[in-house]
A = this chain, B = another copy of it.
Amino acid sequence: MAPDFSLLPSRIPIQNPANPAFTTDYSPLHGETPAAVLFPQSHQDCIDIMRWANLTNTPISVRGAGTGTTGGALCAPHAVLVSMQNMTRIVEIDPQNSTITAEPGVILTNIHTMANQYGLFYPPDPASLNRCTIGGNVAENAGGPRALKYGVTRDYVIGLQGVWANGEPFHYGGKVKKNVAGYDLIGLLVGSEGTLAIITQITLKLIPKPRHQREALATFDSPEHALSALTTVLQHGIQPSTAEFMVDTCIHAALHYLNTPPQFKVQRAAIIWQVDGPSEDAVTAQLSLINHLSKALDFIPMTTPDMINHVWGIRRAISLGLNQLAGQKHSEDIAVPLAKVPIVIEALEALSHPGGIQVLGYGHLGDGNIHVNILKMSASTNDWHTHAPTIIKQVMELAISNGGTITGEHGVGRTKKSFMPLQFSPHDLHLMQSIKRQVDPNGILNTDCMFPK
């Protein structure tokens, strides 16, 4: 049955029928075509939409820029999609309080730029930073390479305005940076993947912008030696801002994709080190200590723009390079305790199937967040469809059996919900769903996300 739009305030723009572009995101899923797409322009619009949805029993899904990789921005069956793309105001930057307040549709990079103009810094930097929205970042609790030193989105959200699924508006926190009154409802909302509420305004804590930064590439003959370098560095009082990890296969795939020769000798494993700080001397001293402690095969300071672009170009091209190499691929983002990274990297490669499917991991070494790639390569289409789902499940089991998680930063969404029972007991899942029911008694909001049937 079609939703009754006559009860919705006419000021809210509506696209009906929906543009088919809204059926995809960066996940491999192809979603339902929404019954319609609504484009709220204000907090009040979102309240009215949720009240209307409860009144008319219309399922709602919420979408930012659609850059998520787990299907969270897609549409539930028969649902109306709420696109936040018209709520793009930076409401205020407040340098005296070191805060920025924005609507959810603001592109992340605009937050970075605005903060930077005031000598301030918003660290989270997921790879999609030029396209993803801050609302999507809050919904998914986005991370990025700098999470190693600076933490993830949750560590910066100090104020949230929005509307619970039942239509009740809220405004928690604000510009106050320390706050322990009651249960942490802000913390509950961040990372809740749009299942509890629509966020209409976000206040972020900003920190001083480190004035200086230096980088180096270090190569190792094994993942173990790379890990050992990192733990040694950490125990010597150095907190790198980034320690990105790549194995040779990933580097070669990226070089092939970029059609460029390496400007360094490719070895089994590599770390891109980044240090930052308030003075040139401080960061230089740190990098030279990292060099001393790393015991790397080669340690190449990235001092020219050319070298920086070369190395980061390789890191950023890994996903595209593997895609080109593989024909088709699945990407997962498990995380494990740091010390388990080397054995998990090896165990992932051992999951490679004789049919030709290849499995490998790279990612954010410092926090144990491994981006796993399952590559079709020479496998037949039949083998791919038969074996890939099994391998994905094995990857998840590998994460859990090593004390890790099924998702480090991409979220559960629709692609991973069947794996939630690997990580949580029936009691835990029931508890989470009972929290959802408290704010969404009619089961309106993103009901097919996060939880298994």
Contact = CB atoms under 8 A, between A and B. Distances in A.
Given A155-B151, A176-B403, A97 B339 contact: yes
Nearest to A149: B207
Contacts of A292: none
A316 interface: no
Copies of this chain: 2
A344 to B, nearest CB: 11
B368 A177 contact: yes
A163 to B, nearest CB: 11
A96 B179 contact: no
Interface in A374-431: 403-412, 416, 420, 423-425, 427-429, 431
Nearest to A228: B96
Interface string A412-453: 100010001001110111011011001100000000001000
A196 B423 CA distance: 21
**Contact size class for A?**
35 or more
B178 A409 contact: yes
A364 B368 CA distance: 33
Interface string A317-358: 000000000000000000111110000000000000000000
Given A180-B410, A425-B170, A431 B369 contact: no
Interface in A157-197: 164, 168, 170, 172-185, 187-188, 190-192
Contacts of A178: 143, 147, 152, 335, 364, 367-369, 405, 408-409
Given A185-B428, A281-B285, 9 more contacts: A119-B235, A152-B180, A155-B155, A174-B404, A179-B335, A179-B405, A180-B405, A237-B278, A434-B438
Interface of A: 94-99, 118-120, 140-141, 143, 147, 151-152, 154-155, 164, 168, 170, 172-185, 187-188, 190-192, 207-211, 231, 233-239, 277-279, 281-282, 285-286, 289, 335-339, 364, 367-369, 403-412, 416, 420, 423-425, 427-429, 431-432, 434-435, 438-439, 450
